[in-house]
Amino acid sequence: MDFTNLWEKLPVPTENLITFKRDISDGKVPELPFFIVDQNDAKKQIGDKLKHIDGKRLQTNVLIALYGNGKTNLLKYLRLFFKDNDSVDVIYTRADKDRTDLGLIFLTHIENNYLDFLTQTIVDIRSDININDLAYNFAENFAEIKDYVQKLFDPEMDPQQIKELIFMGTGRIYTRNYFTKYSIPQLQAFNRREVLVVLLNILSTQKKYLIFCVDEIEKIVEKSKIRFSHFLTSYREIIDLANKIHGHYIITSITDTTGGQAINLANQALFTRIEKDIISLKAIEEKADYVELIGYLDELFESNQKERYIEIYNKVNNKTLKDNRSIIKEIVQLLNIKEVQLSLDTLLGNNKLTELYLQTEKRLAIEDSFKRLHQKFFDPLDYYLESLKGRDISNVLKRQERIYIDEDLSTINLFIFNSEVLELEDEIERINTILEDYTDYNIVFFAPIDLELTNSYLDNFSIHTNGKIEIIDYKPQELFVLLVMFKEHFDKQNIINDVISNYSNLKL
């Protein structure tokens, strides 16, 4: 299957332009990336795989790179490129540290997005299709799902029964009485792999192909090596069935400084199967690529500084930045699109507070003060705010909701401590409840840097405010240390306050 214009610059929808600019100017991965600089090897390898997405076997790749070198950007480019394609759908998801079976994750997305499509397809083709073609002639382990597949394509099954049978295959419905109802043997958890093959092959009969992108699988590693090993084992089980799946494409990504050896050490059996499919992404290095990126950003922001491209390239190149994220942020700053926000190290150094900060941080670590930080954080914050305001703020500092309502600035500040974006919906639900009484207030999300929260992502939610929405990237532990310093050192409160104010982008 050929895709013309793949890897060309995509048009930026007008409705996303402002949000996209805000994300880029913050040096963040945009929710809708339109342009991939360099990465020619990756483009070629992925392009070659896409040519065979409608072939006789499942295609796979693993993206490996250092943090900030464009894994997420590339995956989201593919999602945008295929947005209006009738034959190819891109399913993008971040790895979930609590759900580590790749096959079951895939099945969940299929039942959530293609239940009606699968049901109608089965009704349309069941009188003509040879179901042996869908299930590897029921050889080997496929023999155990033969009765199930035959019942799925039974002409007497109405659409509602077909949907119920699909749920029985994916595992959403699993109790024995349902299988007894249809007079078929009960499926077991280990049968789900073969069911996945059948469902994907049903989609292929309609020339519908999936690109399943699983991003940030390093988050599973951070949670547990055992869970990571289980994820990789489930990945291997799918790859072992690749020649029985008619097309489709799985791309996973991981931040890894070892060039894939983290996978090799955790699951050598998988590594030997995917080694040739590993794609390494690197920071841009060539002058032509730098200039191309500078030109794109200049065009996007309409800053009209073409005569400065070489000057900007030289300044960025001299800094020997190690990742594309930092390169983009530096270019944007040199294009004078956004003022530079000083780092915490610089703020501390300028105010001669570095030693005091390190001492306080070390003591708090010894005292285990960083454990359950979301509970301990608000005591020094309460002290800090009351010192500045000169009044009791208990009615506007809502600890359980992790919200501070600044009535002087007409702003609601939401403090997020979890770096998992999957739980953000709960945070927004809390803030929407508060907004019933503060509809004109601005909203400030204090978001952990690791969360990589973007304005584009927030656009996916309905936040009930007539005010502005702003994201402040921070490290909860760092701000906590500063607040404790303010509370404990009365003689230095003025300069510590300056640091906190600048660190919070003047929101505290």
pLDDT digits (tens, 9 = 90+) for 362-388: 999 999 999 989 889 999 999 999 988
Give residue-wise pLDDT tens across range 54-84.
999 999 999 999 887 889 889 989 998 999 9
* Cβ proximity of 195 and 169 under 8 Å: yes
Give a yes or no: residue 155 inside a domain: yes
Considering the domain architecture, whether residues 482 and 369 belong to the same structural domain is answered as: yes
Among 337-341, 375-379, 396-400, which is the least confidently predicted range?
337-341
Size of the chain in residues: 508
Considering the domain architecture, whether residues 348 and 473 belong to the same structural domain is answered as: yes
Considering the domain architecture, whether residues 479 and 410 belong to the same structural domain is answered as: yes
Give residue-wise pLDDT tens across range 160-176.
999 999 999 999 999 99
Confidence of residue 24 (pLDDT cuts 50, 70, 90): low
Considering the domain architecture, whether residues 167 and 116 belong to the same structural domain is answered as: yes
**Is 339 a residue whose pLDDT tops 60?**
no
**Is 15 a residue whose pLDDT tops 60?**
no
Give a yes or no: residue 13 inside a domain: no
* Cβ proximity of 100 and 292 under 8 Å: no
Cα gap 88→283, rounded to integer Å: 29
Handedness of CA 338, 343, 349, 351 (dihedral sign): positive
Between 285 and 13, name the one with better pLDDT.
Answer: 285
pLDDT score recorded for residue 153: 97
Count of domains forming the chain: 4
Considering the domain architecture, whether residues 199 and 216 belong to the same structural domain is answered as: no
Cα gap 418→376, rounded to integer Å: 14
Cα gap 301→184, rounded to integer Å: 62
**What one-character DSSP code corresponds to residue 340?**
P
Mean pLDDT throughout 330-348?
Answer: 77
**Is 250 a residue whose pLDDT tops 90?**
yes
Mean pLDDT throughout 15-25?
Answer: 65
Considering the domain architecture, whether residues 384 and 445 belong to the same structural domain is answered as: yes
Considering the domain architecture, whether residues 366 and 396 belong to the same structural domain is answered as: yes
Cα gap 150→297, rounded to integer Å: 56
Considering the domain architecture, whether residues 215 and 359 belong to the same structural domain is answered as: no
Give a yes or no: residue 79 inside a domain: yes
* Cβ proximity of 443 and 469 under 8 Å: yes
Mean pLDDT throughout 231-245?
Answer: 96
Give a yes or no: residue 4 inside a domain: no
The two tokens of residue 149 are: 């597949």
| Residue 360 burial (CB count, 10 A) | 19
Cα gap 165→404, rounded to integer Å: 49
Confidence of residue 466 (pLDDT cuts 50, 70, 90): confident
pLDDT score recorded for residue 59: 97
Among 101-110, 194-203, 487-496, which is the least confidently predicted range?
487-496
Distance linking the first and last C-alpha atoms of the chain: 55
Residue 313 domain boundaries: 287-334
Mean pLDDT throughout 129-149?
Answer: 96
Considering the domain architecture, whether residues 195 and 234 belong to the same structural domain is answered as: no
Give a yes or no: residue 258 inside a domain: yes
Among 115-119, 343-347, 423-427, which is the least confidently predicted range?
423-427
| Residue 127 burial (CB count, 10 A) | 8
User: Rounded to 5 degrees, what are φ and ψ at 458?
Assistant: -65, -25
What percentage of the chain carries pLDDT values higher than 70?
Answer: 94
Mean pLDDT throughout 204-208?
Answer: 97
Considering the domain architecture, whether residues 79 and 217 belong to the same structural domain is answered as: yes
Give a yes or no: residue 318 inside a domain: yes
Give a yes or no: residue 99 inside a domain: no
Mean pLDDT throughout 262-266?
Answer: 90
Considering the domain architecture, whether residues 440 and 499 belong to the same structural domain is answered as: yes
Mean pLDDT throughout 244-259?
Answer: 91
**Is 420 a residue whose pLDDT tops 70?**
no
pLDDT score recorded for residue 94: 86
pLDDT score recorded for residue 422: 53
Give a yes or no: residue 7 inside a domain: no
* Cβ proximity of 407 and 437 under 8 Å: no
Considering the domain architecture, whether residues 434 and 485 belong to the same structural domain is answered as: yes
**Is 49 a residue whose pLDDT tops 90?**
yes
pLDDT score recorded for residue 67: 81
Confidence of residue 22 (pLDDT cuts 50, 70, 90): low
